[in-house]
Amino acid sequence: MPKALTVRAVESAKPSDARREIPDGGCAGLYLIVQPSGVKSWAVRYRSPVTGKPVKLTLKGVPPEALADARKAARDALAAVSEGRDPSAERSAARAATIAAARDTSDTVAVLLDRFLSTRPLRERTAAEYRRLAERLIKPALGSRKVQDVRRRDVIALLDGIAERAPISANRTLALVRVFYGWLASRDMVETSPVLGVKPPARETSRDRFLEDREIAALWSATGGMGYPMGPLVRVLLLTGQRREEVTGMRWEELDLDGGAPRWTLERSRTKNDTAHVVPLSPAVVEILRGLPRSTFAAENGAEKPSPFVFTTTGKTPVSGLSKAKDIAHREMTAALGAEPAPWRLHDLRRTASTLMARLGIPQEHVEAVLNHRTGKAGGVAGVYNRFSYADEKRRALAALAGLVAEITGNAPANVVALRRAGS
């Protein structure tokens, strides 16, 4: 491991015939750059969470002698990377936006994409996903281009770059570009769409992966050491069976933890199927939520404001960077199991919860009510009339689920209800 740099070491670093990069053992990823001319600067190296490729980010504005400032800037950049952001791409996008602002930007992808997103009547979850794709993937690559100048090869190059790292995100990006250009064509802003004939880069198949008992126990143990917000978040995902985006976006105002029937109420704008949903909370989930900190953030006037989000690292936005937390949990599970488990995703916890409830003999329509599905027995005309029913059935199902999870993990408290398993 390289030695930690000191101010004296920085000052005494000498140039050579070739450019030198001196790693700082006091901050992983930080390097002192010494040019043959003797000019010194700072840079941080990381792997882009968007493209998966190595990136070197020059820390502009940080003097060579300011070692402490360089370390702080490097840690800030790496913190952004851990949240799934690419500081270099963001800087490039900002620079491109500044350059574009000096020209006529009325018909650029960035400007018109913002107008499109602001005028579309989208559900909150869809709007948030579109904004994420626009800011992180589309704008850095195409934002400064005029919409009329974007060609099919440009879209294909964008999608290929994304597909190397995140195939499903590439599919979602294509879907957004397609509907965006459809909107442009309907307003006579473009003659043809550059996505005509472009096929989704990745094949999407229905998954059937769920965690087995030993994997559940290993995951539960792993989350115990992960801390807030990731550890409690993963446990709530398993114990409620709700969608990842709905749990990560959970707000304190949606929760009623003090009444006789604790519950979590999601408005229709917060659900995937545009249907309002009430999730009864088992004692195990209530205990987790009551133990969480109430985050704050600095308002524009400098005052501390309480965060509306239950799971957050900034206070201003829901928690992000879940893939990194999932990878940490996977490594801990591998250590606990003595062998690497089959690949899994956080969404598989929803399927795991459904499987466990079915194992307990809970009727299918009650499971679907818990999951807020509009299929099977809960779908069609029956779904319209049963939309606000099954409250007691959902509560018993989730209490039984918590009881089974507690049994599997060896943490069964006295107040967790268990139902008789099917066939017992």
- Report yes or no on whether pTM surpasses 0.75: no
| Cβ partners under 8 Å of residue 157, min gap 6 | 141
| Cβ partners under 8 Å of residue 360, min gap 6 | 397, 400, 401, 404, 418, 419, 420, 421, 422
In the sheet with 54-58, reading across from the earlier edge strand, the strands are: 20-23, 30-34, 40-47, 54-58
| Confidence at residue 374, expressed as pLDDT on a 0 to 100 scale | 64
Q: Is the pLDDT score of 417 beyond 50?
A: no
| Confidence at residue 281, expressed as pLDDT on a 0 to 100 scale | 97
Largest CA-CA distance found in the chain, in angstroms, rounded: 80
Is the bond into 229 cis (omega within 30 degrees of 0)? yes
- pLDDT tens digits, 53-65: 999 999 998 999 9
DSSP 38: S
Concatenating the DSSP letter of every residue in 195-226 gives TTTPPPSS----------HHHHHHHHHHHHTT
Q: Which residue has the higher pLDDT, 124 or 393?
A: 393
- pLDDT tens digits, 2-49: 899 999 999 999 999 999 999 999 999 999 999 999 999 999 999 999
- pLDDT tens digits, 308-319: 999 999 999 999
Summarize the confidence of residues 234-245 as an average pLDDT. Answer: 96
Domains and CATH numbers, the chain: 7-84 (3.30.160.390), 90-186 (1.10.150.130), 221-409 (1.10.443.10)
Q: Is the pLDDT score of 84 beyond 60?
A: yes
**Of 294, 296, 286, residue with least CA distance to 258:** 286
Report H helices in 38-165: 67-82, 87-101, 109-119, 124-133, 139-142, 152-163
- pLDDT tens digits, 124-161: 767 888 999 999 999 999 999 999 999 999 999 999 99
CB 239 within 8 A of CB 395: no
CB 278 within 8 A of CB 263: yes
Instruction: State how far the alpha carbon of 111 is from the alpha carbons of 76, 100, 135, 377, in Å.
Output: 28, 10, 12, 45
Give the containing element (helix H, strand E) for 348: helix 348-359
Region of 139 on the Ramachandran plot (φ > 0 left; ψ -120 to 50 alpha; else beta): alpha
Instruction: State how far the alpha carbon of 307 is from the alpha carbons of 281, 299, 317, in Å.
Output: 22, 10, 8
Q: How many CB atoms lie within 10 A of CB 228?
A: 15
Rounded CA gap, 255 and 97, in Å?
40
Task: Give the distance from CA 231 to its chain's centroid.
Answer: 15
Summarize the confidence of residues 408-419 as an average pLDDT. Answer: 61
- pLDDT tens digits, 178-206: 999 999 999 999 998 999 989 998 876 66
